[in-house]
Amino acid sequence: MILLTGANGFVGSAVLSRCIESGLVVRPMIRSLESVIPLIKGIPYVVHELDELSLCNNLLEGITQIIHCAARVHILCDEATDSLEAYREINVRATLNLATQAAAAGVKRFVFLSTIKVNGEFTVLNYPFHADDSPSPKDPYSFSKMEAEHLLLKLMFETDMEIVIVRPPLVYGPAVKANFASMIRWVASGIPLPLGAIHNLRSMVAVDNLADFLITCLKHPAAAGQTFLISDGEDISTPELLRRTAQAMGKNSFLLPVPVSLLRIGADLLGMHEVAQRLCGSLQVDIEKSRSLLGWTPRLTLDQGLKKAVEGLTQ
């Protein structure tokens, strides 16, 4: 049986659906019954707050594998008094507590959902990150994920439990929020956007592809002890992303060729420096290790993933 944490989150709910579709027996763990993403009817959930001290009774009984999606996620303009400590509480200490108890209970494999931000924030155009590159985290969230990775690998060498680490870039899909949802609304409005002069490349991953890959990591013998990067297998520029999102809606895109330097100046004046960095900068990942070692290929193309995302957000 599989324990799935964060099962009613954006990624976790997609993983749960894929588990059920694949005929896998899963015990979903959620923090509370209050969620934007509805629970799947007929599936019994374990409701428990993930913390660094304890687990509810019998949570790990019969569990042989874990996919750990629950986390304190990245927050733009985080207002926590001690941001790193807030991330460590859930992403490091609570994760290690769960993994330690899992190893003691005889769990065979623990798949940890990390982030590409452990590798860094940006890449030079056409020089992607690789799975075995040295980490270069830049913010409290990515530091906490890196620390969790290191402690989990240390635990693997001290116990019989196998660890698999997965670092996705931007994840998108029908229930996506934040900047990607805003982009879809911009395109749907038909408002001309000043993004036509950007020359970058970014990797993304459809949530369905990520869910499929996490389950592959759960089952494939060669995944044990490995770190993987994952994407849809196609890198795309910001202007091309907008055009293809518009196509998925059956609309035209209107992009104005405003110089990137002016975009960055305007964004800085509006306090949107990080947003501009994401729109204008490159972040590419190389997934050859995922393909060759695990024989994995994305279930959805980027265009198929965009169509599902658009349909989910515009219905």
What is the signed CA dihedral for 64, 70, 74, 79, rounded to 10 degrees? -140
Task: Of 13-17, 43-47, 199-203, 297-301, give the lowest mean pLDDT range.
Answer: 43-47
Amino acid making up residue 278: R
CA distance 27 to 19: 10
141 tagged catalytic: yes
Residue 114 Cα distances to 1, 42, 51, 245, 253, angstroms: 22, 29, 18, 27, 34
Domains of the chain and any CATH numbers: 2-173+204-233+287-292 (3.40.50.720)
- 295 pLDDT more than 60: yes
- Rounded to two decimals, the pTM is 0.93
Instruction: Please tell me which residue in 45, 87, 127, 141 is annotated as part of the active site.
Output: 141
Give phi and psi for 37, each to the nearest 5: -90, 120
Cβ contact 63:46 at 8 Å: no
Residue-level pLDDT at 77: 47
Cβ contact 222:288 at 8 Å: no
Give phi and psi for 155, each to the nearest 5: -65, -35
Average pLDDT, integer, range 17-45: 79
